[in-house]
A = this chain, B = another copy of it.
Amino acid sequence: MLSTLDRTLTLDKAHYQHQMEDLMQQLRQLQHQCWKAQLPCIVVLEGWAASGKGALVKKVVQYMDPRGFQVHPVWPATPEERAYPFLWRFWHKLPPKGTIAIFYHSWYTRVLEDRLFKRIPGEDVPTALRDINALERQLTDDGMAIAKFWLHISRKELKKRLKGYSKDELLAWRVRPEDWQQVKHYNKYLDLAEEMILHTSTGNAPWTLVEADCKRWARVKVLSAVVASLREALDRRQVLQAAPPPTPAASAPSPRLDPMEPNWLAQVDLTPALTREDYKAQLKLAQTELRRVQQQVHQQKLPVLMLFEGWDAAGKGGAIKRLTDILDPRSYRVHAFAAPSDEEKAQHYLWRFWRRLPAAGNIGIFDRSWYGRVMVERIEGFATEMEWRRAYREINEFEAQLVTAGYVLVKFWLHISPEEQLRRFEERRQDPFKQHKLTQEDWRNRDKWTAYEVAVNQMIQRTHTPLAPWTLVPADDKYYARVKVLQSVIQAIHTALKSKA
């Protein structure tokens, strides 16, 4: 594919200048339009060393409003970054809505340079490619424009340019020893690039292959493609916005459980309970064991993430407390997720969870999670039907990325009956110390019990995967629920430690 590119393509100076002038004007206008439409955009520049990426970025940057874009040079991951899934550091650099990010090298480093220098085991490559495709689809589905470029030059040209740079006082410092390795292993690197392009050329985020022996030709080709991709994304946005606004499920015809689909919640046996004595004994046993496994989590650098979902008043707080009572506060963190901040709203909905992921060796406890997308956001109409339907897959992908990166992921649904919830609400209403925990919203949510029942059943049905199964906890009895949560966490960590050993 790459070797058949016609590298003799050139552009003379007059045509080049004329076309560039025109492209730059368009680009600047498009930048304003993207800002107005709050459309984010990513330009990925990959290719051989000295293929002209740097000069190209500079050219583009000269014409753009510096307030609306960022350039992200990508170096090898630092030790801190390596304590997370490999996409983590890129999520941190995603452009907020309305802005443009240029990645000078990118997540593709993982399947290119990391492969060349054997920083990634060969068997992890397919997974990395899968994760990359998922990332790009998640972003473009959310409205982002992504344009990816491979700047291609011949081995001869590469060698010539590196030699030239090395002699130039102002350029020599930019030539890395790794760049010379590309000359040495040109064919190997070429094969890796071909494979990468083959597996990641998608309709939503296509690669543009650029004949870059002639720098003028390359620049015009890249910029034309960026312009086209921005226009397309803006058009797509208009079509989407012309669609009718989402109907809140709550105000839609009252939802019903589909008798053809499994009713997960109805199958939970809510009768298990513990006496106070049994609770005390079992809690103590579990907490001692948890302390022991936390030490191993730390020593084995295992990342652990548990998330808590459940009905209002199901006892999430109490269960979390029984965990944190015993954990060393230096290596866990509790994150409660309510409404997103405005910085979070300017990003993909998964962004705020990525930014709170625990690093290897740490324990993250999420009080509510990304599942809000298919529950409250669905029911209240904050997400369109297209958005929440898509979310099942996005969530499965995200969780698969975590688990394959070594995370212990435990997902709890704390289940209670509507009668038990009412009892607890009344109890809270009467207890002056608990009154603050009961809000009008709790009562409103209670009125939507069936809507939630439908949503929760579908959520479990679609996200109860072998890699990331749900743990449904019968929670009408708090004692039983707390012990069950602790035991499940311990069990999950044990399993992970065993498979690691």
Contacts and interface: CB of A to CB of B under 8 A. Distances in A.
A336 B96 CA distance: 14
A291 B73 contact: no
B367 A328 contact: no
Interface in A297-328: 298-299, 320-321, 324-325, 328
Contacts of A174: 328
A324 B62 contact: yes
A469 to B, nearest CB: 25
Contacts of A320: 66
Interface stretch (A53-61, A251-259, A276-284): A53-61
A436 B32 contact: yes
Contacts of A58: 325, 328-329
B78 A336 contact: no
A61 B104 CA distance: 44
Nearest to A294: B170
B57 A329 contact: yes
Interface in A170-218: 170, 173-174
A61 B173 contact: no
Given A79-B78, A170-B291, A341-B343, A62 B330 contact: no
A166 interface: no
B173 A299 contact: yes
Interface in A21-78: 32, 54, 57-58, 61-62, 66-67, 70-71, 73, 78
Contacts of A66: 320-321, 324, 334, 336, 365, 367
Contacts of A54: 328-330
Nearest to A171: B295
A342 interface: yes
Nearest to A73: B330
A136 to B, nearest CB: 23
Contacts of A73: 330-331
A490 to B, nearest CB: 15
Contacts of A336: 66-67
A292 interface: yes
B80 A329 contact: no
Nearest to A65: B317
A170 B292 contact: yes
Contact of A341 (B292, B334, B341): B341
A221 interface: no
A334 B67 contact: yes
A237 interface: no
A333 interface: yes
Interface string A266-299: 0000000000000000000000000110010011
Contact of A330 (B71, B80, B331): B71
A387 to B, nearest CB: 23
Contacts of A343: 341-343
Interface in A362-385: 365, 367
Nearest to A325: B62
Pairs of residues from A and B, 5 with the lowest C-beta to C-beta distance, nearest first: A66-B334, A73-B330, A67-B336, A71-B329, A57-B329
Given A54-B329, A71-B330, 10 more contacts: A32-B436, A58-B325, A61-B329, A62-B324, A66-B334, A66-B336, A67-B334, A67-B367, A173-B299, A343-B343
20 contacts: A32-B436, A54-B329, A57-B330, A58-B329, A66-B321, A66-B334, A66-B336, A66-B367, A67-B367, A70-B333, A71-B330, A71-B333, A73-B330, A78-B79, A102-B329, A104-B330, A170-B292, A341-B341, A341-B343, A342-B342
